[in-house]
């Protein structure tokens, strides 16, 4: 008889955003006239740039003509025109990433979830807490053991490596695979070059691989914050980097991202032979992925042109201004927070000593503003709350005015 993967039964039933959606739906049913403002799920609201629309439409036309029609991509790793554009983009901020180390994907979520397939189930995983739930779930699905590095108020939500290891079942262990996300989802905190160098040294010391999520790099505004882990020496020997156009260029509905597995990244099989992780990953993708839609790849290419960069930066500035509005409100209310400077996320301490789901309900029911309870990202989020700057400017201002009223009236 068929046997299921029983690890799935150990996963939490409700994915964070599904639970939120249920609560929001119930609220809307009970309050059909309420003017709801959504600052919860990290989705963008600005349309995609005109150069991207034009490039995609041109590619659609090409697909309708025999002479320019494109079928399967040879490798499924992405067309050279796009891999080269991504490589040039990396070079523009000082990271040397050859096109051959880059694979184009349909958004970072797929690769983030699927990359773990090339690793054994007996690896110990280190995840910062709070974190994007996909890091946790995609490892629990294979029954891997997870240890957590606390990101909290004390370290400004930027967990650093523990020299003595992490506790697992009463023993101290060192992780084999380390997830880092900077600028961080959900906290908005970003690692400096020195901090990343420390993580790289730690990974090298313990033979660990870093899975680096750079999905929010386009929001970095401070000079000493690296856009890519490959701006740090020797990162290529330990780190895989995932990035996406979802937040950079509003591609949440267009679907395109990229993953870098450097050719320098080698490890050893149990029999002592050297193994290239890029080769394993290419083998995995060669069997389970057939490449990204051609018109989408042309749209992504347009993002990296000078005109594309100009247009997508206008949207990023728009969101950064929202982040500023949120940050100024929290300062005014004397509420501690991280993020908002190098990130579209603002992570703040729930007022009134509330836990985050209680504060979520209060915000929803009293001022019709939807945020994301920090508890959904791990235990260090229990009393914290995430707002995103991806909304409409007027609505963001309106929501912050409502928040001010809420806090003042409840004091």
Count the Cβ atoms, other than its own, within 10 Å of residue 134: 16
Query: Residues 153, 221, 286, 405: which binds its own copies (CB under 8 A)?
Result: 286
Cα–Cα distance, 174 to 299 (Å, whole number): 42
Cα–Cα distance, 34 to 13 (Å, whole number): 29
Is the separation of the CB atoms in 217 and 243 below 8 Å? yes
Query: Residues 162, 237, 289, 358: which binds its own copies (CB under 8 A)?
Result: 289
Distance of alpha carbon 389 from the chain centroid:
15
Count the Cβ atoms, other than its own, within 10 Å of residue 187: 32
The residue range among 2-10, 155-163, 218-226, 320-328 that interacts with its own copies, by the rule CB under 8 A, is 2-10
Tell whether the torsion through CA atoms of 87, 91, 94 and 99 is positive or negative: positive
Is the separation of the CB atoms in 132 and 270 below 8 Å? no
Query: Residues 41, 99, 173, 395: which binds its own copies (CB under 8 A)?
Result: 41
By CB under 8 A, tell whether 188 contacts its own copies.
no
CB of 241 to its own copies, least distance (A): 16
Cα–Cα distance, 370 to 37 (Å, whole number): 6
Structure tokens at 308: 């594309």
By CB under 8 A, tell whether 45 contacts its own copies.
yes
Provide the 3-class DSSP secondary structure of residue 26. Answer: helix
CB of 259 to its own copies, least distance (A): 14
By CB under 8 A, tell whether 96 contacts its own copies.
no
By CB under 8 A, tell whether 57 contacts its own copies.
yes
By CB under 8 A, tell whether 332 contacts its own copies.
no
Total residues in contact with its own copies, by rule CB under 8 A: 88
The residue range among 112-120, 159-167, 185-193, 379-387 that interacts with its own copies, by the rule CB under 8 A, is 112-120
CB of 403 to its own copies, least distance (A): 24
By CB under 8 A, tell whether 386 contacts its own copies.
no
Query: Residues 36, 43, 99, 197: which binds its own copies (CB under 8 A)?
Result: 43
Cα–Cα distance, 321 to 391 (Å, whole number): 11
When the beta carbons of 161 and 250 are compared against its own copies, the nearer one is 250
By CB under 8 A, tell whether 237 contacts its own copies.
no
Cα–Cα distance, 314 to 225 (Å, whole number): 21
By CB under 8 A, tell whether 74 contacts its own copies.
yes
Interface positions, 245-264, toward its own copies (CB under 8 A): 250, 252-255
Residue with tokens 């069997």: 287
CB of 280 to its own copies, least distance (A): 5
Angle between helices 294-303 and 80-92 (to 10 degrees): 20
CA distances from 112 to 59, 137, 315 (A): 28, 11, 25
Alpha-carbon dihedral angle through residues 364, 375, 17, 313, given to the nearest 10 degrees:
90
By CB under 8 A, tell whether 77 contacts its own copies.
no
By CB under 8 A, tell whether 241 contacts its own copies.
no
Count the Cβ atoms, other than its own, within 10 Å of residue 154: 7
Interface positions, 119-158, toward its own copies (CB under 8 A): 119-123, 133-134, 137-138, 141
By CB under 8 A, tell whether 280 contacts its own copies.
yes
When the beta carbons of 270 and 334 are compared against its own copies, the nearer one is 270
The residue range among 43-51, 182-190, 192-200, 348-356 that interacts with its own copies, by the rule CB under 8 A, is 43-51
Residue 132 makes CB contacts below 8 A (sequence gap 6+) with 181, 185, 186, 213, 377
When the beta carbons of 23 and 193 are compared against its own copies, the nearer one is 23
Query: Residues 29, 65, 272, 334: which binds its own copies (CB under 8 A)?
Result: 65
Query: Residues 39, 49, 232, 350: which binds its own copies (CB under 8 A)?
Result: 49
CB of 370 to its own copies, least distance (A): 14
Cα–Cα distance, 253 to 271 (Å, whole number): 44
By CB under 8 A, tell whether 4 contacts its own copies.
yes
By CB under 8 A, tell whether 161 contacts its own copies.
no
Task: Please give the angle made by the CA atoms of 327, 43 and 319, to the nearest 5 degrees.
Answer: 40
Is the separation of the CB atoms in 406 and 362 below 8 Å? yes
When the beta carbons of 154 and 274 are compared against its own copies, the nearer one is 274
By CB under 8 A, tell whether 81 contacts its own copies.
no
């Amino acid at each position: 008889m068929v046997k299921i993967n029983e690890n799935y039964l150990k996963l939490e039933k409700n994915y964070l955003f599904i639970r939120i959606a249920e609560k929001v739906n119930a609220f809307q049913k009970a309050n059909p006239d309420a003017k709801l403002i959504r600052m919860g799920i990290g989705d963008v609201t600005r349309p995609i740039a005109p150069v991207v629309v034009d490039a995609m439409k041109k590619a659609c036309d090409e697909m309708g003509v025999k002479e320019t029609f494109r079928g399967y991509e040879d490798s499924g790793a992405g067309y050279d025109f796009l891999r080269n554009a991504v490589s040039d983009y990396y070079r523009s901020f000082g990271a040397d990433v050859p096109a051959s180390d880059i694979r184009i994907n349909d958004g970072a979520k797929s690769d983030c979830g699927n990359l773990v397939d090339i690793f054994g189930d007996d690896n110990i995983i280190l995840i910062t807490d709070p974190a994007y739930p996909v890091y946790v779930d995609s490892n629990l699905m294979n029954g891997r053991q997870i240890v957590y590095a606390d990101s909290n108020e004390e370290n400004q939500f930027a967990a650093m490596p523990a020299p003595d290891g992490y506790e697992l079942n009463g023993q101290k262990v060192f992780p084999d695979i380390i997830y880092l996300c900077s600028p961080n989802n959900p906290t908005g905190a970003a690692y400096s070059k020195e901090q990343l160098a420390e993580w790289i040294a730690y990974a090298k010391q313990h033979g660990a691989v870093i899975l680096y999520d750079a999905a929010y790099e386009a929001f970095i505004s401070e000079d000493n914050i690296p856009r890519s882990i490959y701006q740090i020496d020797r990162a290529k020997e330990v780190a895989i980097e995932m990035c996406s156009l979802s937040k950079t260029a509003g591609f949440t509905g267009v679907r395109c991202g990229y993953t870098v597995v450097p050719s320098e990244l080698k490890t050893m099989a149990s029999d002592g032979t050297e193994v290239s992780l890029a080769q394993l990953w290419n083998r995995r993708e060669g069997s389970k992925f057939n490449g990204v839609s051609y018109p989408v790849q042309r749209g992504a290419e347009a993002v990296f042109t000078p005109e594309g960069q100009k247009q997508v930066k206008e949207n990023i500035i728009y969101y950064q201004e929202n982040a500023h509005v949120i940050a100024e409100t929290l300062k005014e209310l004397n509420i501690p927070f991280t993020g908002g400077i190098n990130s579209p996320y603002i992570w703040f301490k729930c007022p009134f000593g509330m836990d985050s789901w209680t504060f979520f309900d209060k915000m929803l029911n009293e001022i019709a503003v939807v945020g994301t309870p920090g508890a959904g990202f791990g235990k260090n989020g229990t009393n914290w709350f995430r707002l995103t700057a991806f909304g409409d400017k007027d609505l963001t201002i309106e929501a912050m005015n409502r928040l001010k009223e809420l806090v003042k009236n409840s004091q």
